Amino acid sequence: GEDVEQSLFLSVREGDSSVINCTYTDSSSTYLYWYKQEPGAGLQLLTYIFSNMDMKQDQRLTVLLNKKDKHLSLRIADTQTGDSAIYFCAESPDDSWGKLQFGAGTQVVVTP
Amino acid sequence: DTAVSQTPKYLVTQMGNDKSIKCEQNLGHDTMYWYKQDSKKFLKIMFSYNNKELIINETVPNRFSPKSPDKAHLNLHINSLELGDSAVYFCASSQGQNYGYTFGSGTRLTVV
């Protein structure tokens, strides 16, 4: 997605924390999302954050939102081999009829 | 199981043929979508229907025609297939604009 940018690759050791970063452009987006795609599968909604929040925690996942800089991050604590996947950031501008604008995805590889 | 299901999962066909991909959701969602994921994993919206009515029609060739017989189904018909149509096509559904999507597992289309 030309409006949502992510780094393409992240390698992390099992047990360490992973941080995936994303920048978006449309400040009207009420919600911002993180999706996970495992090989050969569809996208699975991991978590989302409402735009008036700075942080959301859900078990091993922590989402941070800096609305001023239009920066979103996903932290995965205690990364496991099952976390190896592509992670997509997405925004949904208010006037977009629910259309999600995706980033290009970050390939996370977890090594033992 | 409550889900978004697409058929077929794999489709290999020759250039110039016409093919259809079917999608059904039993989640009671009002809105359904078709997304195309290219070989670089980039996801782009093609169409969206809300209660059988077309609400998003991105710049997609006329050879692609969606059809929604009821709000639980959104099918995609492609005429005169071209090599560049090879991709993974994902169907998704959502309830409301800001609640994220539930994705199907994808249809890998290969045009030879």
What confidence tens digit (pLDDT) does each residue in A2-33 have?
Answer: 579 998 999 999 999 999 999 998 878 888 99
- Across the interface, which of B40, B45, B106 has its CB nearest the CB of A42? B106
Chain A residues touching B53 at Cβ < 8 A: none
Q: What is the pLDDT of residue B52?
A: 84
| Inter-residue contact B75 to B20 (CB < 8 Å) | yes
Contact yes or no for B40 and A104 at CB 8 A: yes
| Inter-residue contact B30 to B37 (CB < 8 Å) | no
- Sign of the Cα torsion A101, B95, B89, A74 reads positive
Q: Which of A56-60, B40-44, B89-93 has the lowest mean pLDDT?
A: B40-44
Give the pair of three-digit tokens for residue A71.
């920066």
Residue in A with minimal Cα distance to B105: A42
| Inter-residue contact A86 to A11 (CB < 8 Å) | no
Contact yes or no for A45 and B100 at CB 8 A: yes
According to the 3-state scheme, what is the secondary structure of A38-87? CCCCCEEEEEEEECCCCEEEECCEEEEEECCCCEEEEEECCCCHHHCEEE
Residue in B with minimal Cα distance to A87: B41
What DSSP designation does B4 have?
E
> For chain A, how long is the longest CA-to-CA vector?
44
How far is residue A61's CA from residue A56's CA, in Å, rounded to a whole number? 8
* CA distance, residue B24 to nearest chain A CA (Å): 15
Q: What average pLDDT score do residues B69-91 get?
A: 96
**CB–CB contacts below 8 A, A to B:** 62
Give the pair of three-digit tokens for residue A92.
């949904």
